[in-house]
């Protein structure tokens, strides 16, 4: 496997190496950051880094370009989004390759991510032609309209785990509804979560200056949240960073959308099909090495089937292979970096010290962490509450449906939950009591179809949603417009 990825027709190294995207590929003001393949430690190139001044200049340029963009006929905007979807289809193999190599995704996960990202482009292409608002009743002779207008420039800050989709799910609808965008991808996945999007839109003919992709760390993120030309921040990432972004955006009176962490329960009732329950649990816990906001962070299993379930989950975990997804067919790839691996390792150690039983796994080599099962986890165990973001099943027994509700709701988070049972009525009754933004009956916790509103409650977000019917609400705002034939003669 070569150290550099050859995607000559799509994203050749010389185009992006050490660069930023501001409508053109330009050198960054700060030293470039190496792009490291987590599975091998190999250097795949380097991305430029934005400083605060770069962010300011980009936000200003995007604001100027946005006025022309929104003035274009709606079908011209739609056409760019349609073209972007076609470009992404044409280059899907290169895109998948980047997701595998730069983010440590298995090929199956990378392919699924590329596909939902293309779907997000297709769906966004339909937004410019949607109704812009409503006609309101008014006094005689006055036309009164409530219409949705773009916000201006949207700052998008995105994470490393589903880097392409979690950025494009905001970039595409924001552009489609007439906004400019400054995207700050996570520095660990700035190519697949940033430059791929820049290149797709560049090839699709998006006017230069409307989309900027500025890799950078918290400094660039902070500059974005305080820039006067940025009207809204759409942030996806950890609750800790989200709180800081929310505070900064609030101070500068920006609209802010926060899609944050989760500690999501999969509840397995005693009448569930045990084979299906295992398949759902394995997917929910271990997909992408557990580095998913919706990952099943708690497996609540009813006492009657608990022992059997744990035994079979352990046997299943032992069959899960871990390795380099670019060269081997494996179930689990590497964790994103040593910091994240150490966090997972320490979480497993702390869980044992607090009384959990390590059934299998718990170890790693390089960034490859074994599929792990912790059983007998109690509410006073830190692993019951904290997001691990690693391939660790946290299994907890319960006796009654009421107990399952209480356990699942014992968290500040409120992103996703799922209930498995042959009795749909019982599962729904239980599910209705769960405090979450995403609820699945007879499925696991990791689900997104692009066309659904996606958002959490509590510490998982700030009451916003993204996707499907939520996008117009998210990326536009109301304007009240009235029209009269003649101005009235007011009596004062």
Binding region for ligand NAD (CB under 6 A)? 157-161, 166, 184, 186, 217-218, 221-222, 225, 236-238, 241, 244-245, 259-262, 293, 387, 389, 415, 456
CB of 29 to ligand NAD, least distance (A): 17
For the chain, percent helix, then strand, then coil, each to nearest 5? Answer: 40, 20, 35
What is the smallest separation between the CB atom of 455 and ligand NAD, expressed in angstroms?
7
State how far the Cα of 159 lies from the Cα of 65, in Å rounded to an integer: 26
Q: Which is closer to ligand NAD, CB of 7 or CB of 445? A: 445
Residues 183, 185, 188: CA angle, nearest 5 degrees: 165
CA–chain centroid gap for 460, Å, is: 12
Element (H, E) at 345: helix 338-353
Residue nearest ligand NAD (C-beta atom): 221
Tokens for 449, please give them: 């179809």
433 burial (CB, 10 Å; 0-12 / 13-18 / 19+) is middle
State in Å, rounded, how far the first CA of the chain is from the last one: 81
Reference 98, options 14, 24, 6; nearest CA is 6
Gap between the Cα atoms of 423 and 428, Å rounded: 9
**3-state class (DSSP) for residue 181:** strand
- Which of 309, 389 has the CB closer to ligand NAD? 389
CA–CA separation, 108 and 463 (whole Å)? 32
CB 155 within 8 A of CB 225: yes
Active-site residue (options: 37, 293, 387, 474): 293
Q: Which residue, 397 or 461, has its beta carbon nearer to ligand NAD?
A: 461
Structure tokens at 28: 């960054």
Q: How crowded is residue 53: how many other Cβ atoms within 10 Å of its Cβ?
A: 10
Q: Measured from the CB of residue 223, what is the shortest distance to ligand NAD in angstroms?
A: 9
* Nearest Cα to Cα of residue 221 among 162, 293, 169, 156: 156
Provide Rg for the chain, Cα atoms: 24
Helix residue ranges per DSSP H, 410-466: 424-431
Query: In 10 A of CB 135, how many CB atoms?
Result: 10
Examine the residue annotation and report whether 259 is marked as an active-site residue of this protein. Answer: yes
At residue 389's C-alpha, the angle toward residues 387 and 392, to 5°, is 95
Q: Least distance in Å: CB of 102 to ligand NAD?
A: 14
- Which of these, 60, 196, 182, 9, lies nearest to 121 by C-alpha position? 196
Distance of alpha carbon 300 from alpha carbon 411, whole angstroms: 14
The residue annotated as part of the active site, out of 123, 259, 359, 386, is 259
Q: What are phi and psi of 12, to 5 degrees?
A: -65, 145
Decide whether 213 or 356 has the Cβ nearer to ligand NAD.
Answer: 213
Length of the chain: 492
Q: For helices 92-103 and 107-125, give the axis angle rounded to 10 degrees.
A: 130
∠ CA(371), CA(294), CA(418), 5° rounding?
95
Q: Is 14 annotated as catalytic?
A: no
Residues annotated as catalytic are 259, 293
């Amino acid at each position: 496997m070569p150290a550099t990825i050859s995607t000559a027709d799509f994203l050749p190294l010389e185009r992006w190496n050490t660069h930023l995207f501001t409508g053109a590929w330009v050198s960054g003001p700060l030293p470039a950051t190496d792009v490291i393949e987590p599975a091998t430690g190999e250097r795949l190139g380097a991305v430029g880094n934005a400083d605060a001044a770069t962010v300011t200049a980009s936000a200003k340029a995007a604001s100027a370009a946005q006025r022309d963009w929104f003035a274009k006929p709606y079908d011209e905007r739609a056409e760019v989004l349609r073209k972007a979807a076609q470009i992404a289809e044409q280059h899907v193999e290169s895109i998948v390759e980047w997701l595998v190599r730069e983010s440590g995704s298995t090929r199956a996960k990378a392919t699924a991510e590329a596909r939902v990202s293309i779907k997000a482009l297709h769906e966004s292409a339909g937004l410019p032609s949607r109704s812009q608002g409503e006609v309101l009743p008014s006094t005689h002779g006055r036309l009164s309209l409530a219409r949705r207008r773009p916000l201006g420039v949207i700052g998008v800050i995105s994470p490393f785990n589903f880097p392409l989709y979690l950025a494009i799910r905001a970039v595409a609808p924001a552009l489609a509804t007439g906004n400019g965008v400054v995207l700050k991808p996570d520095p660990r996945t700035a190519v697949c979560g940033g430059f791929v999007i820049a290149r797709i839109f560049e090839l699709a003919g998006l006017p230069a200056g409307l989309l900027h992709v500025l890799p950078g760390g918290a400094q660039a993120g902070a500059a974005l949240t305080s820039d006067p030309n940025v009207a809204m921040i759409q942030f996806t990432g950890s609750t800790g960073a989200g709180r800081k972004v929310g505070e900064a955006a609030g101070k500068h009176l920006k609209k802010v959308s926060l899609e944050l962490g989760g500690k999501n329960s999969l509840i397995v009732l005693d009448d569930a099909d045990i084979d299906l329950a295992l398949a759902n649990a394995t997917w929910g816990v271990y997909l992408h090495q557990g580095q998913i906001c919706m990952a099943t962070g708690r497996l609540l299993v009813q006492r009657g089937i608990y022992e059997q379930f744990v035994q079979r989950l352990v046997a299943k975990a032992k069959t899960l292979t871990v390795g380099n997804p670019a060269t081997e067919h494996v179930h689990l790839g590497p964790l994103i970096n040593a910091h994240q691996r150490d966090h997972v390792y320490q979480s497993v150690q702390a869980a044992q010290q607090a009384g959990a039983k390590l059934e299998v796994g718990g170890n790693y080599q390089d960034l490859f962490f074994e599929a792990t099962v912790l059983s007998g986890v109690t509410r006073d165990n830190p692993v019951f509450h904290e997001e691990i973001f690693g391939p660790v099943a946290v299994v907890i027994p319960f006796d009654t449906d009421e107990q399952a509700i209480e356990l699942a709701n014992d968290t500040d988070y409120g992103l996703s939950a799922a209930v498995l049972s042959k009795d749909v009525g019982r599962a729904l009754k239980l599910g209705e009591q769960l405090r979450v933004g995403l609820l699945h009956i007879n499925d696991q916790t990791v689900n997104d179809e692009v066309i659904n509103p996606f958002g959490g409650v509590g510490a998982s977000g700030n009451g916003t949603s993204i996707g499907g019917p939520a996008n117009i609400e998210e990326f536009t705002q109301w304007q009240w417009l009235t029209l009269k034939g003649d101005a009235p003669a007011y009596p004062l």
